[in-house]
Chain A
Amino acid sequence: MTNPNEITPHLFRTEYSKIVAVLCRSFDIKNIEIAEDIASETFLKASEYWAVNGLPDNPAAWLYTVAKNKAKDYFKHLSIIEKNKEEVRATEKEQLTIDFDTKNITDSQLEMIFATCNPVNSRETQICLALQILCGFSVEEIANAFLSKTETIKKRLQRGRETLRTHHFTIDFLREQDIHQRLETVLTTLYLLFNEGYFSRTNTLLIRKDLCLEAIRLTLILTDHQFTNTPKTNALLALMCFQSSRLDARTNDEGEPILFDEQDITLWNKALIEKGNYYLIEACKVDSSSVSKYHLEAGIAYWHTSSAKDKWQHILNLYNQLVIIEYSPVTALNRAFAFSKVYGNEITVIEAEKLNLINNEYYHGLLGYLYAEIQPDQAIYHFEEAIRLTKSKPEKETLQKQVNLLKNPK
């Protein structure tokens, strides 16, 4: 028999948010604290009961039954206390249909995603709320993922929930129009959640993988629903699949980043690359006029997994389009790198220096790389600027190695 203590954390992650979502759908998101209490009590009961009696055949179904009964008890209790209030009883009666069938779980989670990703909150707050409400992360886990103090995260979450409440967002039956208005925000939040996992250099691989997988899981929910299964959603999912396929190859055993050229290709996850291909094709099925930044970034990620000779030309073309539709310093720098792969370092130096991002460590890192074989003294200058600007210690060490190599060529 499986040890209940081992299986509970995994179950908790997947089932906690489902239970909260379904309960919230039944008695409104303004009662989310009640829903969370019931979900927590359900897991408490499970851990006690399972420790004695062993794991049931279908743990999820067991949890749903307990949660449902607890919810019914709660409202029975409430109606006894508030006997006089006729309206409470009236609403309570009609609200008490709690269904844990697959469709209702998916719909509830979808509604919850849309309720959580509300632009009244800042993006950081939206991500924190998503991690807590949609992914079942504890405050400590979120603080760990953001490298923040638990107190800070706790406050941020409280404020975020307060704004959700004061903005009277009720999850009504999701209408197509509402979905389209909010989908952009939802996709952005999931994109940022994924990036938080993928690009954070400061965390253990385990935490980062968790964030990436949760982002994928939530985006998959969007592809399950006809209104949210848009080309953009599929493009975002394709991007996530391609990027995740390289998670294991991106860092060594010590957690230090490995440059793309030096990655062990055999560590790339072929199944995820195939999934990425599948969703990228889905993303391009509808008219091609709706090319989003997710399409372009997924395209770039796709070419990175390819070993075609002209791949850098394709990557450059996609970065050209990307920087035209949405400027960011990172995109501008990545484009310059792709430019160097196609046209060589000497021409790229001119192109890159125009970016003039003198306070950006990666700008100096790139110029250091481009100058290394043309003007070593310039390269050293830029690498040292990068060392001065970066806060990451492993980064500083990697850059210092470059400087040493340039100062004492073998």
Chain B
Amino acid sequence: MKEFLLVFRADYKSMPKTSPEQMQANTQKWMNWIAGIAAQNKLADRGNRLESTGQVIKSDGIISDGPYAEIKESIMGYTLINAESIEEAAALCKNCPILLFGGNVEVREISKL
């Protein structure tokens, strides 16, 4: 078994302003999806969501607010899963709810130190 990092990206601005009912429905979709992976015993670490604000530290010592305003794809969160291959890991992401909001999932194999 190999471990893979899933990075969820989407445009914060294009995220629909949703009603509480829709929010709940979205949470339900996420929970069903993650639990579906866990039910196959392939969830390594549920991971977390990320706040929309942050800071970037550059080599010249300048600290700036995160580049979120300019870029279309911000990192929304991450999860760690187990899979035999990158293909299997990618297949597990096929029905990830973020795809419904125009976002994407990047799958990267963890290279253990």
Residues of B within 8 A of A332 (CB): 38-41
Using a CB–CB cutoff of 8 Å, the interface residues on chain B facing chain A are 28, 31-32, 34-36, 38-41, 43, 46
A355 to B40, CA, bound (A): 5
* Chain A 192-219 per-residue mask, 1 if CB under 8 angstroms from chain B, else 0: 0000000000000000000000000000
Nearest Cβ in chain B — how far from A311, in angstroms? Answer: 15
**Pairwise interchain contact A320-B40, C-beta atoms closer than 8 A:** no
- Give complex CA distance A354, B91 in Å: 12
Q: Which residues of B contact A351 (CB under 8 A)?
A: 36, 39
| A→B interface (CB under 8 Å) | 316-317, 319-321, 323-324, 327, 331-332, 335-336, 339, 351, 354-356
Which residue, A320, A327, A339, A356, has most C-beta atoms of chain B within 10 A? Answer: A320
- Selected from B28, B32, B41, the residue in CB contact (under 8 A) with A327 is B41
Ordered nearest first, which 10 A-B pairs have the shortest CB separation?
A320-B35, A332-B39, A323-B38, A320-B31, A324-B38, A327-B41, A323-B39, A323-B35, A354-B40, A335-B39
Q: How far is the CA of A339 from the CA of B39 in the complex (A)?
A: 12
Q: B40, A324: Cβ atoms under 8 Å?
A: no
**Nearest CB in chain A: distance from B6 CB, A:** 15
- Give the docked Cα–Cα distance between A332 and B41 (Å): 9
Beta-carbon contact of B36 and A319 below 8 Å: no
Question: Assuming the A-B contacts A319-B35, A320-B31, are A356 and B46 also in contact, with contact meaning beta carbons closer than 8 angstroms in the complex?
Answer: no
The interface centre, meaning the residue of B32, B39, B40, B46 with most chain A CB atoms within 10 A of its CB, is B39
CB <8 Å contact, A317 and B31 = yes
Residue pairs across A and B with Cβ atoms less than 8 A apart, 11 shown, are A316-B32, A317-B31, A319-B35, A323-B39, A324-B34, A327-B39, A327-B41, A332-B38, A332-B40, A339-B32, A354-B40
Task: Give the Cβ gap from A358 to chain B, nearest Cβ, in Å.
Answer: 13
Q: Nearest chain B CB to A327's CB is how many angstroms away?
A: 5
Q: Are B41 and A324 in contact (CB under 8 A)?
A: no
Q: CA of A339 to CA of B34 in the docked complex: distance in angstroms?
A: 14
Which residues of chain A have C-beta atoms less than 8 A from B28's C-beta?
317
B contacts with A: majority SS: helix
- Complex Cα gap A356–B28 (Å): 24
Q: How far is the CA of A356 from the CA of B84 in the complex (A)?
A: 15
Closest B-chain residue to A317, C-beta based?
B31
Q: Given the complex of chains A and B, what is the CA–CA distance between A183 and B34 in angstroms? A: 30
In the complex, the answer to whether B43 meets A324 with C-beta atoms within 8 Å is yes
Q: Report the Cα distance A324→B32, complex, angstroms.
A: 10
Chain B residue at smallest Cβ distance from A316 = B32
How far is B31's CA from A316's CA once the two chains are assembled, in angstroms?
10
**Distance in angstroms between the alpha carbons of A319 and B36 in the assembled complex:** 11
Q: Are B43 and A320 interface neighbours, CB within 8 A?
A: no
Residue of A nearest to B31 (CB): A320
Q: Are the C-beta atoms of A327 and B35 separated by less than 8 Å?
A: no
CA A242 to CA B46, docked complex, whole Å: 30
A332 to B46, CA, bound (A): 16
CB of B91 to closest CB in A, whole Å: 10
B35 to nearest A CB, angstroms? 4
- Smallest CB separation, B89 vs chain A (Å): 14
Q: How far is the CB of B78 from chain A (nearest CB, A)?
A: 15
Given A317-B31, A324-B34, residue A356 in contact with residue B39 (CB < 8 A): no
Across the two chains, which residue of chain B brings its CB closest to A331? B39
Q: A335 — nearest CB in chain B belongs to which residue?
A: B39
What B residues does A317 contact at CB under 8 A? 28, 31
Chain A contacts for B36, CB-based, 8 A: 351, 354
- What residue in chain A is nearest B30 (Cβ atoms)? A320
Q: Which residues of chain B have C-beta atoms less than 8 A from A316's C-beta?
A: 32
Q: Residue on A with the closest CB to B92? A: A354
- Having A323-B38, A324-B46, one finds 15 other A-B pairs with CB under 8 Å, namely A316-B32, A320-B34, A320-B35, A324-B34, A324-B35, A327-B41, A327-B43, A331-B39, A332-B39, A332-B40, A335-B39, A336-B39, A351-B36, A354-B36, A355-B39
Residues on B with beta carbons closer than 8 Å to the beta carbon of A354: 36, 39-40
User: In the bound complex, what is the Cα–Cα distance between A355 and B46 (angstroms)?
Assistant: 18
Q: Considering the complex, give the chain B residue whose CB is closest to the CB of A329.
A: B41
Q: List the A side residues contacting B43 at CB < 8 Å.
A: 324, 327
- Complex CA–CA separation, A332 to B42 (angstroms): 12
Distance in angstroms between the alpha carbons of A115 and B31 in the assembled complex: 40
- For the complex, what is the distance from the CA of A10 to the CA of B31, rounded to whole Å? 48
* Complex contacts, B32 vs chain A, CB 8 Å: 316, 320, 339
A335 to B36, CA, bound (A): 9
Contacts of A323 on B, CB cut-off 8 Å? 35, 38-39
Bound form: Cα–Cα A160–B62 in Å: 63
